[in-house]
Amino acid sequence: MTLQQTVLLTDRAWPDDSIERGIIEDAGFRFVAGPADPAPVEAINALVAEHQPAAILTCWATVSAAAIDSSAPLRVVARMGVGLDNIAVPAATDHGVQVTNVPDYCVEEVSDHAVGLALAWTRGLVATDREVRAGRWNPAGARLRRLSNLTCGVIGYGRIGRATAAKLKALGARVVISDPHPPADTGGIEAMTLDGLLAASDIVVLHAPLVPQTHHLIGARELALLPQDAFLVNVSRGGLVDTAALMAALQSGKLGGAGLDVLEEEPTVPAGLLAHPGVIVTPHIAFASDASVIDLRRSAAEEVVRVLRGEPANYPCNTPSALATGVSS
């Protein structure tokens, strides 16, 4: 008798696991859910060791090399999102485990959020709302900008970067991009070096993945290159920005503000960011909408079923070791 394969959901950013459970169980697999909030790495390691899953669905929780090593049946780790910085991808590759993500579920949401933060700054929407709520009615004190007079630099020109660039361009802004591997066809948008983009941009939007090479991509040196009173938008990963350098640039008056959906130490928000009138912080929600979250959950669960049935993944993020999987070359 063949034992039923187990799928472990480590955590989730939504109220229930009904969509994932339904898809997994309807496909004939056993479904086990961990706590909703991401548990510490040691707790996730213990869950994996206990349940010996053939597949892991993870939202924010860390899937470590130790966890991957501890489950002999493991065949796939599916990220319920885009970034892979919470998954030990090299370990998965060495163990013959497929890693997948869902790269296309929130293109509109994240690009809308980035543009929304830029517009909130240029029009003073958040800052003036705070003033009015505090009992101050001072229209003459508002420092507002015309977006179509500004240069907006988009760092990272993948699916979401393209969408953000198109939306900013439609609003009349001059848009430039920087990407280590820019496409041959940029849609008529000028590609620049990172330093060149920073020096030219009144608004900078980060759409880069967090990998070792991009950790603190924006630090003190890079912030010093920006024009006076520029605005930085980060809707990607908190680790792309050196928080201490960011706060120093804000406090010195070099940087006009920042729109941050992600932070280095979530959910801790440094007091210096909260106190600055030009800073807008949202709680890592750029990806979310009623439609995008359903798309994400269905896509990730269906990808797991696909791999466990021996079918190729739609969104593979690694090439598992042939030796580990028992496949000859």
pLDDT 10s digits, 9-46: 999 999 999 999 999 999 999 999 999 999 999 999 99
- What is the pLDDT, as a whole number, of residue 325? 52
Whether residue 31 sits in one domain with residue 127: no
Written as six digits, the tokens of 311 are: 């079918």
Whether residue 15 sits in one domain with residue 117: no
> What is the tally of structural domains in the chain?
2
Q: Which domain holds residue 301?
A: 6-104+290-325
Instruction: For residue 134, count other CB atoms closer than 10 A to its CB.
Output: 7
Cα-to-chain-centroid distance, residue 79? 11
Whether residue 295 sits in one domain with residue 268: no
- What is the pLDDT, as a whole number, of residue 321? 86
- 1, part of any domain: no
Mean pLDDT throughout 47-53?
98
**307: CATH:** 3.40.50.720
Nearest 5°: the CA angle 70, 76, 81 is 115
- What is the pLDDT, as a whole number, of residue 1? 41
Distances (CA, A) of 281 to 12, 92, 124, 193: 22, 34, 14, 28
The mean pLDDT value of the chain amounts to: 95
pLDDT of residue 326 exceeding 50, the answer is no
pLDDT of residue 327 exceeding 90, the answer is no
Give the bridge partners for 234, in sequence order.
Answer: 206, 260
Whether residue 303 sits in one domain with residue 173: no
pLDDT of residue 265 exceeding 60, the answer is yes
- 247, part of any domain: yes
Angular region, 310: left φ>0, alpha ψ -120 to 50, beta rest = left
Alpha helices in the chain (DSSP H): 18-26, 41-51, 65-70, 89-94, 107-122, 125-133, 159-170, 194-200, 220-225, 243-252, 271-275, 290-308, 322-325
- 256, part of any domain: yes
Residues marked active site are found at 237, 266, 284
Tens digits of per-residue pLDDT, 91-105?
Answer: 999 999 999 999 999
Mean pLDDT throughout 236-265?
97
- What is the pLDDT, as a whole number, of residue 46? 98
Q: Is the pTM of this model over 0.85?
A: yes
